[in-house]
Amino acid sequence: MLELRNVSKRVGAELHIRDVSLKLEPGSLNVLLGPTLSGKTSLMRLMAGLDRPTEGSVWVDGKDATGVPVQKRNVAMVYQQFINYPTLTVYENIASPLRLSGASKAEIDAEVQKAAKLMQLTEFLDRTPLSLSGGQQQRTALARAVVKKADLVLLDEPLANLDYKLREELREELPKIFAESGTVFVYATTEPTEALLLGGNTATLNEGRVTQFAPTVEAFRNPVDITTAQTFSDPPMNTIEVTKTKNTFNLSGGAQLIVPKGYWTLEDGPYTIGFRAHHLKMSSPAETTKNEPLKAVVLITEITGSESFVHVNCTGQNWVMIARGVHNYDPGDAIELFIDTRHLLVFDAEGTTIHSATEQQAA
Amino acid sequence: MKNFRWFVPTLYILFLMAPIYWLLNMSFKTTNEILGGFSLWPKDFTIDSYVEILTNPVWYNGYINSLSYVLLNMIISVSFALPAAYAFSRYRFLGDKHLFFWLLTNRMAPPAVFALPFLQLYSSMGLFDTPLAVALAHALFNIPLSVWILEGFMSGVPKEIDETAYIDGYSFPRFFVKIFMPLIASGIGVTAFFVFMFSWVELLLAKTLTSVAAKPIAAVMTRTSSTAGYELGLLAAAGVLTIIPGAIVIWFVRNHIAKGFAMGRV
């Protein structure tokens, strides 16, 4: 088990990690989700023991491990860049942690062969890492993490530089490989989709703070505040300022929305509402027919094939809509939109979530 | 036009080789022939000059002295510069950038400036006229140069490799020797080459800090005349033999040196 207690890290005048407390259970899969520079790598370095926290403490299995050097901890780490020992063969690269732990020759060979097979590297064992492709180099690094059987495995965006097919394969494989041995598995990513695919628990990071730590789906459905919702949303969550008076939300641009069932208990007053891109529709969802369509101007359309990402300007806000199928609008086209108000997130002035869709309604 | 492409490079190489050829030419002539007139090749071919140098201790000790302080200096410079360059490349500390630049300023002063203080210091410490004296004096110029070159090579190695090694369980010394040094092998080669070159070529300090026992070859060569008059053949032969070690070293590091230049540190 790994526990961070009120950990902060200051580098120069900058605070890279702000008062983070986390408890990671053995055998658990934990995702660190946050944009670049949100502190994912800094946090992992503190977990590994590569850096010492400026404040707070790191506990491993109930013992204070704050000052324990990384060599004395049983940790494995894989970086986003493909990091291997360029002068050693792939075999020696994978064997390196075993050699240092003093394993016997037969043992090393068995483990290396097993890991190499798992990572499909068997035929490259005699080559040096730099003569391999990027994917193979990263699999070498992963194989080294596998053979170590560490208590804590840290993967820092390990698949970010790999091609699409390999990513999907490894994303499915990796958690399984490490789950078996009861390790604490930590996986950093910038992509909400990847977090959802991995499952487990997710800690959302923003500017060095952990904004929420909860089971991944739970964090996605019920973000505690607007920052978490933004971090855990791809494309970005659409937001708008509204004022609630009785049973209408008055939008800043003058339009109105009928307050849907389940939100009636909100007090009148100003709020920020948020909704995901796929809750912005081109046709009226059945239960909100009473709402007038919102007028919007198309800014740009990105077509991925099965979906179109339509960037629009509506009531003075820039929003993104995901629509099924190919919709080839030209910039400047006027379209009419509907918000599926059943899935609104409502935030107060501080950005704290005060109402999110209940589980049955959430999609 | 196409058929004359070889012309300019050939001319250039001829000009470059001319003095070396002339030296070689002279070394196989007798002094009388050299002084006697112009000849493109030795008429009276002799290897007496070489025999004299390789059998007379006054001559060959010059080579031994030179080589011993050069090698000593290479060992001192590289082994001190390795940890220093690692610190500059990997750690941030108070005044690190200023200190790094200050290292270079050591090379801005001509060696002559330091001749007097070194002479007095070594004389009073009993180091005068030993290879170690010259090696230490040259280290003043060579350590900064080595740190500067090695730091460039070390910074080309991602810090994450160090960390991966620590995570795997390497202690610092083991990592440094087993993982890190092989990674910067060409950097060490290039550094050794430049250190060699400076120390082998430098004359003033080497001459000032020695008298008899540790006299370098360059100093021996400068006694142009002896009781027997001018010995130009002998001097030419000594010159040829002095070029050889440099040529050998260049041959070994030729593949790495381009990398050093590409890093802009040499």
CB contact A85 to B (< 8 Å): yes
Mean pLDDT of A86-102: 93
CB contact A144 to B (< 8 Å): yes
| Residue of chain B nearest A146, judged by CA positions | B168
| Residue of chain B nearest A12, judged by CA positions | B92
Do A62 and A160 belong to one domain?
Answer: yes
**Does ipTM exceed 0.90?**
no
Mean pLDDT of B7-21: 92
Q: Is the pLDDT of residue A361 over 60?
A: no
pTM of the shown model: 0.81
Q: Which residues pair with A58 in a beta bridge?
A: A4
Q: Is residue A362 part of a domain?
A: no
Average pLDDT, chain A: 88
A97 to chain B: which residues are within 8 Å by CB? 168-169
| Percent of chain A whose predicted confidence (pLDDT) is above 90 | 42
Q: Is the pLDDT of residue B17 over 70?
A: yes
Q: Is residue A363 part of a domain?
A: no
pLDDT at A359: 42
Do A255 and A319 belong to one domain?
Answer: yes
| Percent of chain A whose predicted confidence (pLDDT) is above 70 | 97
How many domains would you assign to chain A?
2
- Give the integer Cα–Cα distance in Å for A244 and A262: 14
CB contact B158 to A (< 8 Å): yes
Do A199 and A347 belong to one domain?
Answer: no
Q: Is B4 left (phi over 0), alpha (psi -120 to 50) or beta?
A: alpha
From the list B160, B165, B167, the residue facing A76 with the nearest CB is B167
* Residue A310 lies in domain: 238-355
Q: Is residue A360 part of a domain?
A: no
Do A16 and A75 belong to one domain?
Answer: yes
Model confidence at A360, pLDDT cuts 50, 70, 90, reads very low
pLDDT at B224: 58
B161 to chain A: which residues are within 8 Å by CB? 83-86
pLDDT digits (tens, 9 = 90+) for B26-67: 999 888 888 888 888 888 888 888 998 899 888 889 999 999
A41-55, A333-347, B16-30, range with the lowest pLDDT = A333-347
Residue whose C-alpha is closest to residue B69's, from B234, B219, B223 = B219
- Please indicate whether, in this complex, the C-beta atoms of A83 and B179 are within 8 angstroms of each other: no
B165 to chain A: which residues are within 8 Å by CB? 85, 96
CA-to-CA dists, residue B245 to B71, B73, B207, angstroms: 12, 15, 19
Q: Which amino acid is at A95?
A: A
Contact B252, B245 (CB under 8 A): no
Domains and CATH numbers, chain B: 1-46 (no CATH), 51-262 (1.10.3720.10)
CB contact B169 to A (< 8 Å): yes
pLDDT at A352: 85
Do A156 and A111 belong to one domain?
Answer: yes
Chains A & B: contacts with CB separation below 8 Å:
51
- Please indicate whether, in this complex, the C-beta atoms of A86 and B165 are within 8 angstroms of each other: no
Average pLDDT, chain B: 88
pLDDT at B70: 95
pLDDT at B85: 95
Backbone φ, ψ for residue B248 (5° rounding): -65, -45
CB contact B160 to A (< 8 Å): yes
Mean pLDDT of A167-185: 83
Mean pLDDT of A106-134: 92
Which of A231, A251, A280 corresponds to the end of one domain? A231
Do A65 and A202 belong to one domain?
Answer: yes
pLDDT at B226: 63
CB contact B166 to A (< 8 Å): yes
Q: Is residue A145 part of a domain?
A: yes
Q: Closest Cα of chain B to A317: distance in Å?
A: 43
Q: Closest Cα of chain B to A144: distance in Å?
A: 9
Q: Is the pLDDT of residue A131 over 50?
A: yes
pLDDT at A144: 93
Q: What share of chain B is helix, strand, coil (3-state, %, to 5)?
A: 75, 0, 25
Q: Is residue A134 part of a domain?
A: yes
Q: Is residue A260 part of a domain?
A: yes
Q: What is the CATH number of the domain that holds A220?
A: 3.40.50.300
Contact B31, B231 (CB under 8 A): yes
CB contact A71 to B (< 8 Å): yes
Do A212 and A162 belong to one domain?
Answer: yes
- Please indicate whether, in this complex, the C-beta atoms of A77 and B167 are within 8 angstroms of each other: yes
Identify the residue among A87, A89, A112, A142 best suited for mutation to test binding to B, counting B beta carbons within 10 A and taking the highest.
Answer: A87
Do A35 and A64 belong to one domain?
Answer: yes
From the list B160, B169, B171, the residue facing A83 with the nearest CB is B160
Which of A200, A231, A262 corresponds to the end of one domain? A231
Q: Is the pLDDT of residue B263 over 60?
A: yes
pLDDT digits (tens, 9 = 90+) for B155-203: 999 999 999 999 999 999 999 999 999 999 888 988 998 999 899 988 8
Q: Compute the half-sphere exposure of residue A277: CA atoms within 13 Å on the CB side of its CA.
A: 19
Do A12 and A150 belong to one domain?
Answer: yes
Of these ranges, A232-236, A314-318, B149-153, the one predicted with the greatest mean pLDDT is: B149-153
- Please indicate whether, in this complex, the C-beta atoms of A101 and B165 are within 8 angstroms of each other: no
Using CA atoms of A279, A285, A291, A295 in order, give the dihedral in degrees to the nearest 10: 60
Do A33 and A143 belong to one domain?
Answer: yes
Q: Is residue A93 part of a domain?
A: yes
Mean pLDDT of A203-212: 92
State the residue for tokens 């440099």.
B246
Q: Is residue A193 part of a domain?
A: yes
Do A112 and A227 belong to one domain?
Answer: yes
Do A207 and A262 belong to one domain?
Answer: no
- Give the integer Cα–Cα distance in Å for A303 and A308: 4
Which of A207, A231, A255 corresponds to the end of one domain? A231
Model confidence at B227, pLDDT cuts 50, 70, 90, reads low
Q: Closest Cα of chain A to B98: distance in Å?
A: 18
